[in-house]
Amino acid sequence: MPLDIVRSACPHDCPSTCALDVERIDARTIGRVRGADNPYTAGVVCAKVGRYAERVHHPDRLTQPLLRVGPRGVGRASFTPIGWDEALDRVADGLKQAADRHGPEAVWPYYYAGTMGLVQRDGINRLRHVMGYSRQLNTICTTLADSGWVAGVGKKLGVDGREMAESDLVVIWGGNPVSTQVNVMTHATRARKERGAKIVVVDVYRTPTVEVADHFLCVRPGTDAALACAVMHVLFREGYADRDYMARYADCPDELERHLETRTPEWASAICGVPVDEILAFARLYGANKRSFIRVGYGFARSRAGASSVHAVACLPTVTGAWQHRGGGALYSNGQLYGIDKTLIEGLDRVNPATRVLDQSRIGPILTGDAEALKGGPPVTALFIQNTNPMMVAPDTTKVRAGFERQDLFTCVHEQFMTETAAMADIVLPATTFLEHDDMYQTGATTFFHVTRAVIEPLAEARPNHWVLGQLARRLGGEHPAFEMTEWAVMDATLKASGYPSAAEIHAGSWTDRAPAFEKAHFLDGFPHKDGKFHFRADWQAIGPDWRCLPPLPDQTTLFEAATPEHPFRMLAPPARSFLNSSFTETPSGRKREGRPTARMHPDDLAALGLADGARVRLGNRRGTVVLHVRPAAGQQAGVIVVEGIWPNAAFEEGRGINTLVGADPGPPQGGAVFHDSAVWVRPA
């Protein structure tokens, strides 16, 4: 018999949002997952999702509500099963007690992108707004990159990722799509095959993407802006700048040119470590190819200098006028393309602007009573968590752990697995996967909007986020129309309010393409600032409160956590190929492929420390220490340490993971986690 193939879309925290063809073996079982014939997905998905049966049918999936009866942090042995009604009653009572004691702001619904579905991810905000609970500033992933991109372009928009296939030069700046966004490589390598395009990677270490590139510029962490400024210096000096284009579409090209006169390749080389001849060669290659496409990654933004670095890189296609050409320009994300009215989903009609907003990346300081992080308000004494695992992924793990260990903190976690955060909870609720509920998704890397139905029935007693929120609202006395509606009804009403076809119509076609016309996508009708110009001069004050430290014109800063004699190494923690944040760390195939937590160090650094390949070392700074193994990696600069992950804390010898070393201070101008910006020391363990 032919397999039953069901169309779906990937929900995970990746801008590709791949269209999927899922083998359905029966009502409760899937087989392989393949890329659908969507023009961007093009039949290709990452290995993680291709083996999704390993995750959805994992024996460790949570199957029933659990009550903690033993110590925190132990895992399943500390829990006993209870029924859904009892579990929900206990959760509602825990939230009520916190609100009665300290006011509703003492309750913090906490979430992020374990699913990117608009209904199942964002519905938690409806409960927050209806009940007056503390609001959340979502900073853990894209805020720094958002700030830099919007400072220049004006909105979170760019050229459709499919146009990379029509480019003569693809520049992948600060990203590793072979491991994290495989579809980028589909279109970039098509340009190479069909047009002879070159692929250039700018990054801080030799990633799998570098291995398939034509050119690699290896920068020191946090110095991307210096390289971008030197490239622009050469573009102006050697006649590659399109002055007519800039006169029409940019705010201050003459001022920029004067500013860059001293930002020579020699100046940049001393800062970023890229040899002068490589800077010159790249600048000339970029200037000579008007169909040049910069795929701006997230990695180099996760630094205290991240926003200004992204802004500097975003200036490049405006200097050359690459935006004018098909296959030219740049893309960070099309996140603001879709215009979805989320009033019903998020309860935006019930927002109280006076309610405090807590920074999710600062959950450690918040839970340990930092007055500034608490915004002068009451302590957080109750957490309701969906779609995230802060014990593993949040910065400054030591403070996060201390916060979760508080005896006066009530915590409920709605999860698919017994994560390290779930192990700290009082109540754990079993959650569905994307294959077991309805939802809808927008795509950052391209222009498609997806509506999906459940492919299989929920495992045992697992329940969707939307259902749980409705049940809690009833017990808490929270009233909003969406709490009484099905997911599908919420989607249908939301799409109608947004001017879209119905959910059924989009689902029947699997997706709808929201691509704007060429002129609009390439900003030939003006950039989305009020003056219609690209802004070389960034108005950081309009973006966030911590703006004074940022350069108005693109420039290198010293905001990052610099190496010192006490902390001579710069450490970053980029994603491993087999994991996605904390997702997939439970799958045997992913764990086997990644091996163990490992610090990549330059061979010269290992030699200077007398360390051999595989040696146990202790990395540390003022935030804590971790123990792991080292291996030599020549494809990075001396003084740089790379620890791919994110591995669970439990995978490290002493139970402390790599985010122990990462600061929770907010990156300017409006916050943002700085996972790739830590100074550390190294000693034999």
| pLDDT over 90 (residue 371) | yes
Query: Going by C-beta distance under 8 Å and a sequence separation of 6 or more, which residues neighbour residue 530?
Result: none
End-to-end CA distance of the chain: 58
Model confidence, pTM: 0.98
What is the SS3 assignment for 667?
Answer: coil
The predicted model gives 249-254 an average pLDDT of 98
The pLDDT value given to residue 402: 98
Q: Which amino acid is at 239?
A: G
Give the whole-angstrom CA distance, residue 328 versus residue 576.
Answer: 30
Claim to verify: residue 234 and residue 371 sit in the same structural domain: no
Whichever domain contains 406, its CATH number is 3.40.50.740
CB atoms within 10 A of CB 342: 17
Give the whole-angstrom CA distance, residue 220 versus residue 176.
Answer: 16
The DSSP result for 533-602, as a single string, is SB-SS--GGGT-S--TTS-SSS-----S----SSS-EEEE-PBPTT-BTTBTTT-HHHHHHH-S-EEEE-
The pLDDT value given to residue 2: 67
Give the whole-angstrom CA distance, residue 603 versus residue 609.
Answer: 10
The pLDDT value given to residue 341: 98
Is residue 31 within 8 Å of 4, Cβ to Cβ? no
Element (H, E) at 137: strand 135-137
Q: What is the pLDDT of residues 505-556, one digit of tens each?
A: 999 999 999 999 999 999 999 999 999 999 999 999 999 999 999 999 999 9
CA-based radius of gyration for the chain: 24
* Greatest Cα-to-Cα distance within the chain, rounded to the nearest angstrom: 72
**What pLDDT band is residue 353 in, cutting at 50, 70 and 90?**
very high
The answer to whether residue 550 is domain-embedded is no
Claim to verify: residue 302 and residue 200 sit in the same structural domain: yes
The predicted model gives 458-477 an average pLDDT of 98
| pLDDT over 60 (residue 1) | no
Claim to verify: residue 50 and residue 124 sit in the same structural domain: no
**What pLDDT band is residue 357 in, cutting at 50, 70 and 90?**
very high
Domain that holds residue 167: 159-332+529-542
Q: Extract the tokens encoding 271.
A: 């800062």
Q: Which amino acid is at 172?
A: I
The answer to whether residue 366 is domain-embedded is yes
Claim to verify: residue 131 and residue 88 sit in the same structural domain: yes
Whichever domain contains 40, its CATH number is 2.20.25
Claim to verify: residue 322 and residue 345 sit in the same structural domain: no
Q: Which amino acid is at 45?
A: V
Claim to verify: residue 31 and residue 73 sit in the same structural domain: no
Q: What is the pLDDT of residues 33-90, one digit of tens each?
A: 999 999 999 999 999 999 999 999 999 999 999 999 999 999 999 999 999 999 999 9
The predicted model gives 609-613 an average pLDDT of 97
Q: Extract the tokens encoding 467.
A: 């259902």
The DSSP result for 358-417, as a single string, is EEGGGHHHHHTT-TTTTTTSPPP-EEEEES--HHHHSS-HHHHHHHHT-TT-EEEEEESS
The answer to whether residue 426 is domain-embedded is yes
The answer to whether residue 407 is domain-embedded is yes
The predicted model gives 288-316 an average pLDDT of 97
Give the whole-angstrom CA distance, residue 577 versus residue 516.
Answer: 33
CA distances from 12 to 83, 157, 436, 445, 645 (A): 29, 21, 14, 13, 16
b or e along 396-420 (b: 16 or more beta carbons within 10 Å of the residue's beta carbon)? bbbbbbebbebeebbbbbbbbbbbb
By C-alpha distance, which of 597, 593, 598, 644 is closest to 51? 593
Whichever domain contains 302, its CATH number is 3.40.228.10
Domain count, the chain: 4
Q: Which residues pair with 6 in a beta bridge?
A: 22
Query: Going by C-beta distance under 8 Å and a sequence separation of 6 or more, which residues neighbour residue 580?
Result: 12, 13, 14, 48, 180
Q: In which region does residue 639 sit, left (phi positive, over 0), alpha (psi from -120 to 50) or beta (all else)?
A: left
What is the SS3 assignment for 200?
Answer: strand
Is residue 175 within 8 Å of 301, Cβ to Cβ? no
Q: In which region does residue 672 sit, left (phi positive, over 0), alpha (psi from -120 to 50) or beta (all else)?
A: left
Claim to verify: residue 366 and residue 495 sit in the same structural domain: yes
The predicted model gives 463-470 an average pLDDT of 98
CA 52 remoteness from chain centre: 20
| pLDDT over 90 (residue 3) | no
Claim to verify: residue 51 and residue 117 sit in the same structural domain: no
Q: What is the pLDDT of residues 155-198, one digit of tens each?
A: 999 999 999 999 999 999 999 999 999 999 999 999 999 999 99
Is residue 142 within 8 Å of 463, Cβ to Cβ? no
Q: Which amino acid is at 262?
A: T
Claim to verify: residue 480 and residue 425 sit in the same structural domain: yes
Percent of the chain with pLDDT strictly greater than 90: 99
Give the whole-angstrom CA distance, residue 527 versus residue 338.
Answer: 17
Supply the mean pLDDT for the chain: 97
CA distances from 540 to 139, 225, 266, 480, 546 (A): 17, 16, 28, 37, 8
Claim to verify: residue 326 and residue 342 sit in the same structural domain: no
- Locate tokens 């110095």: which residue? 223
By C-alpha distance, which of 205, 204, 201 is closest to 221? 204
What strand order describes the sheet that includes 511-513?
439-442, 448-452, 511-513
The answer to whether residue 295 is domain-embedded is yes
The answer to whether residue 580 is domain-embedded is yes
The answer to whether residue 650 is domain-embedded is yes
Claim to verify: residue 253 and residue 323 sit in the same structural domain: yes
| Tally of helices (H runs) and strands (E runs) in the chain | 26, 25
CB atoms within 10 A of CB 477: 10
Claim to verify: residue 137 and residue 94 sit in the same structural domain: yes
Q: Which residues pair with 250 in a beta bridge?
A: 534
The answer to whether residue 514 is domain-embedded is no
The DSSP result for 201-216, as a single string, is EEESB--HHHHT-SEE
Q: Which residues pair with 110 in a beta bridge?
A: 385
